[in-house]
Structure 1
């Protein structure tokens, strides 16, 4: 990761016509050949899973292979989102071991890495619940596990600066309650008033095919860090949405999605903006219904507003040059891939990017994009 003097790499299998196991082995082999002086500490595997049994078997198999290959603790996350160009893509996170001391934090099946340097602590990890005992219960379990992880290293809740929320069947229903809305209700209860003074984390809430609920997070505790929310004036902040865009019965409590459109982080002279999952929304209305190219265009315009000249002036007295660092592009329907990819490349060229199939938090949204902007 950038602020760990590291990197983020996307690894594709060498042979895209092999079966899933062969492609996993190909990716792991390539990871073993990285010789940059940086060290891998986290791996996200994006892959399809046709059933819960297949998901659980694949997760156990990959965990065992990762444990055999790496001598130090590596956090592993299996995200049931099919890549659009092969059967599996691996996202590898690296840090500079000459700059940072590390400590593994293990709480049951959940894990994180604590990075320490001078008077700065950074906690990066993921927690998961897939108990099939009701969606609200899984949401409560994941936030409870996140709370335990933070408490273990004495991090306050408001130390979270970036969060990814992977939600199985995100726009489906558990009885008469929409799953994404149930997740948002539990998130609001967990956050309570912890973020009132400094704004919410940047975040992505995205669908998966399996796995229940996974929360991936970055938390920072440091007297050196400067962090602040970044808004897009063309969009209503998600946490200020009106009742008309929230799903559920009129008489039932519905809370808004608690995240910022983006979040600025400055640490040890490294400056960056976390770009939240962004879609084709103006105000709080979806734009470009049934038009994937237009939705991609509007989404990119929304992202570019988050690192506009006016935004950069408000963040620093120095003249900052923005460079988009990487992206994940979530595509709802495979048939829209060509139009979405063409539009994305028109703006960002050969930027490191992964395209994956994932359901999005509104039925009429066809694409969602996230990433980071490095400021130099």
Structure 2
């Protein structure tokens, strides 16, 4: 399994694609027969209005649809994408949509024999807005948590790496990677585990790990969840985007150290060896973010996307991944 970045609209031959995401100024979601998430957010990186990020495999693939999920799988890895509008008839439409999406995901994973959810990308409109007496991100967390519980899944500890980012509009959009082998969840000693947040952050804590190691055949993949300027469980450096960049990278460095402590591959993970996606709340901060992160990330590639972070006082968030080969046994 490999990750590729290509200019839109040409992702290459689709036969060995597991799935991907179209980021930026894409007029409409293309009709393709493989899972493609449309991230409806401006691409802030210089030189391109849009980007195609795809996961490939050298193995044969099978495709299908299940309850609104478009999916494709190899022998040991499955990728899926689902978009679900919020039903205004529900008392808490986003909570209901979140629960239903995850119920469908878990049903698919059971049916396909890929029960281990590795990585999830969640995008929702107006993430920091309030409706029905509760912030929308907290509604999303409640729905996700309920689906985990009803599927008899762990809500803390053995949970996937994930992000949840706000966009200007559109349905709840969820993409995911899962596999036949269990993940190794990773936490950050500088931070309270998200699934153990105190009640001040919402009635249900978020169901994700700070990072995870996954093991598709012959590989070790590090997925780093959306990471921000949080120490303990509190936001630090509110209002200072450059300082938040520095703090976020300190958290990334700590996560990489934790990964290397348990990793199986001979090559250690490093900030320079990761690829990064950077979400920037205010487009006007993109220049500052790029200038600040370029030396901190030690030359690693990154793209900047305009997106709202799960807390209103967070200005930047970074997610990352890297793939290493495993030596044959």
Aligned partner of 1:74 among 27, 31, 34: 34
Shift of 1:336: 1.2
- The offset of 1:78, in angstroms, is 1.4
Alpha-carbon distance in 2 for matches of 1:115, 1:319: 25
Structure-2-length-normalised TM-score: 0.87
One of 313, 317, 320 as aligned partner of 1:364: 313
Indicate whether 1:231 and 2:187 are aligned.
yes
Q: State the partner residue of 1:127.
A: 82
Alignment match of 2:50 (pick from 81, 89, 113): 89
| Structure 2 residue 306 is matched with structure 1 residue 354 | no
Aligned equivalents of 2:241, 2:6: Cα separation in 1: 24
**Which residue does the alignment assign to 2:148?**
191
Q: Which residue of 2 aligns with 1:322?
A: 269
Out of 5, 22, 26, the position equivalent to 1:9 is 5
The equivalent residue for 1:255 is 204
Q: Greater Rg, structure 1 or structure 2?
A: 1
Q: Per the alignment, in what secondary structure is the counterpart of residue 306 of structure 1?
A: helix
Report the CA distance between 1:241 and its aligned residue. Answer: 0.6
Q: Deviations over 1:223-245 (max 9, x none)?
A: xxx63111110100001111123
Cα distance, 1:101 vs. partner?
1.9
- What's 1:250 paired with? none
Secondary structure of 1:274's counterpart equals: strand
2:100 is aligned with 1:141: yes
CA change 1:46–1:270 in 2 (3 A) is same
SS in 2 for 1:344: helix
Spell out, residue by residue over 1:150-197, the C-alpha distance to the aligned partner (whole angstroms, 9 max, x if none). Answer: 2432443xx101111111111112221211111111111111141269
Is 1:273 the counterpart of 2:222 in the alignment? yes
**Aligned counterpart in structure 2 of residue 304 of structure 1, from 250, 253, 257:** 253
Residue segments in structure 1 that go unaligned for 5+ positions in a row: 12-26, 50-57, 68-72, 247-253
Distance 1:95 1:38, change over 3 A: farther
Cα RMSD for the two superposed structures? 2.5
How far did 1:108 drift? 5.0
* Partner residue, 1:200: 159
Q: Deviations over 1:291-349 (max 9, x none)?
A: 111100100110111111x6423344x75421433111000001211111111101224
Tell me which moved more, 126-135 or 323-332: 126-135
Structure number with higher helix proportion? 1
Question: What is the CA–CA distance in structure 2 between the aligned matches of 1:345 and 1:197, rounded to whole Å?
Answer: 34
Shift of 1:198: 5.8
* Equivalenced residues, count: 316
Q: Distance in 2 between matches of 1:77 and 1:261?
A: 22
Gaps of 5+ in 2: none
Contact 1:112 1:125 survives alignment (8 Å): yes
| CA gap 1:322/1:87 in 2 versus in 1, 3 angstroms | closer
Structure 1 segments of 4+ aligned residues over 6 angstroms from their partners: none
Partner of 1:166: 123
Contact 2:141 2:206 in 1 (8 A): yes
Q: Post-superposition shift, 1:127?
A: 1.2
